[in-house]
Amino acid sequence: MPMMSGSADRLRRARTPRRDPAPSRLAYRAERLWLTPAFRKAVRYGLPALLVLGALGGYFADEGRRQAVRDQVAALRESIETRPEFLVRLMAIDGASEPVARAIRQMLPLEMPVSSFHLDLPAMRALIEQLDAVASADLRIRKGGVLQVTVRERVPAVLWRNGPALEMLDRSGHRVATLLDRQARPDLPVIAGEGADDHVDEALAILEAARPIAPRLRGLVRVGDRRWDVVLDRDQRILLPEKDPLTAIQRVIVLDQAQDLLGRDIALVDMRNRERPTVRLAGPGGDEEAVRTGVSGQ
């Protein structure tokens, strides 16, 4: 009996298939997938994130809950913005004349106090710089709740008679303001003519060169948007050339100082021809004659 039992056990073990120690195909693929860094990160971080987002999505699916959260955020923001340290109670304007300061206050009708979070400083600066008299503006909020507005005004250089209007211009030709009366700014020279506002720098240079005859100078007229006429009292004119008008007016000044040219009974001095300056006598049918001097080139 013992011998038969041992034989049966050996026969049973021989019939039982041995277990393969190698992993199954599915387990092998799962193990290989887990060894991939991207997959591990997705499982460790992506899956929890998806669960959290799913939970939040389920919570905020209800409109009442969403509105409650919006109300809480708005209340928190309002409580921060209206804190005393963020309130602006005063606006100070520096560098502006009284009319310009008054215009700025009218353009920015702020109801004080106002939260600094409600002030759009770049937009306010752009609005102020739309004023013709303002070259640039700088806005900042100072300690103590003060909105500081620092203005750099344009400096009027000439008066431009444009038809019936009399405009103040700066050196760049930008409009500063409109004058109703010439006597409001008797210190500024007058220019006139089409395109004169585009050549203010040249006009100022001519006026500077003509300073010796400034008491008699009435202004400059732009002719054909090409050249200048210098207008003097007694209806005298100096016709300047299109090119190099400064040299021409300097030659006239030398002639006047040497021969009292402009003190004579003449209507105009024509300097358009550099080689042959001429003068026209005053009165109807006044003759023209060449100016024969050492400086005239003849």
Question: CB–CB of 31/23 below 8 Å?
Answer: yes
User: pLDDT value at position 296?
Assistant: 39
CA-CA distance, 156 to 282, in Å (whole number)?
Answer: 35
Please write the tens of the pLDDT for every residue from 111-127.
878 888 888 999 999 99
User: pLDDT value at position 6?
Assistant: 59
In the chain, the percentage of residues whose pLDDT exceeds 70 is 84
Please write the tens of the pLDDT for every residue from 256-266.
999 998 998 89
- Rounded (10°) CA dihedral 280, 284, 285, 289: -20
Return the minimum-mean-pLDDT range out of 57-61, 175-179, 223-227, 265-269. Answer: 57-61
Q: What is the 3-state secondary structure (H, E, C) of 89-157?
A: CEEEEECCCHHHHHHHHHHCCCCCCEEHHHCCHHHHHHHHCCCCCEEEEEEEEECCCEEEEEEEECCCC
CA-CA distance, 73 to 92, in Å (whole number)?
Answer: 33
- Average pLDDT estimate for 147-158: 94
* Lookup: tokens for 147: 């909105």
Question: CB–CB of 222/228 below 8 Å?
Answer: yes
User: pLDDT value at position 30?
Assistant: 73
User: pLDDT value at position 253?
Assistant: 94
Instruction: Examine the pLDDT at 37 and tell me if it is beyond 70.
Output: yes
- Average pLDDT estimate for 6-18: 60
Position 269 confidence tier, pLDDT thresholds 50, 70, 90: very high
- Average pLDDT estimate for 142-171: 92
Please write the tens of the pLDDT for every residue from 73-100.
777 667 666 677 678 888 999 999 999 9
Pick the CATH number of 158-296 from 3.50.50.60, 3.40.50.11690, 3.40.630.30, 1.10.1040.10: 3.40.50.11690
Instruction: Examine the pLDDT at 168 and tell me if it is beyond 90.
Output: yes
The DSSP annotation for 199-234 comes to: GHHHHHHHHHHTGGGGGGEEEEEEETTTEEEEEEST
Mean pLDDT of the chain: 83
User: pLDDT value at position 119?
Assistant: 87
User: pLDDT value at position 11?
Assistant: 59
Superfamily of domain 84-153: membrane protein fhac (3.10.20.310)
Sign of torsion over alpha carbons 181, 182, 184, 185: positive
Return the minimum-mean-pLDDT range out of 36-50, 158-172, 204-218, 266-280. Answer: 36-50
User: pLDDT value at position 22?
Assistant: 61
Domain extents in the chain: 84-153, 158-296
Position 21 confidence tier, pLDDT thresholds 50, 70, 90: low
Confidence (pTM): 0.66
- Rounded (10°) CA dihedral 31, 32, 33, 37: 110
User: pLDDT value at position 36?
Assistant: 81
Instruction: Examine the pLDDT at 14 and tell me if it is beyond 60.
Output: no
Position 103 confidence tier, pLDDT thresholds 50, 70, 90: very high
Contacts by residues 139-148 (CB-CB < 8 Å, ≥ 24 positions apart): 141/88, 141/116, 142/92, 144/89, 144/90, 145/87, 145/88, 145/89, 145/90, 145/113, 146/88, 146/89, 146/90, 146/91, 146/92, 147/88, 147/90, 147/91, 147/92, 147/110, 147/119, 148/92, 148/94
Sign of torsion over alpha carbons 253, 255, 259, 264: negative
Which residue did the predictor score with more confidence, 22 or 54?
Answer: 54
User: pLDDT value at position 188?
Assistant: 94
* Lookup: tokens for 276: 């042959």
88 by Cβ neighbours in 10 Å (0-12 / 13-18 / 19+) ranks as: buried
Position 9 confidence tier, pLDDT thresholds 50, 70, 90: low
Instruction: Examine the pLDDT at 254 and tell me if it is beyond 90.
Output: yes
Phi, psi of 58 (to 5 degrees): -65, -35
User: pLDDT value at position 70?
Assistant: 77
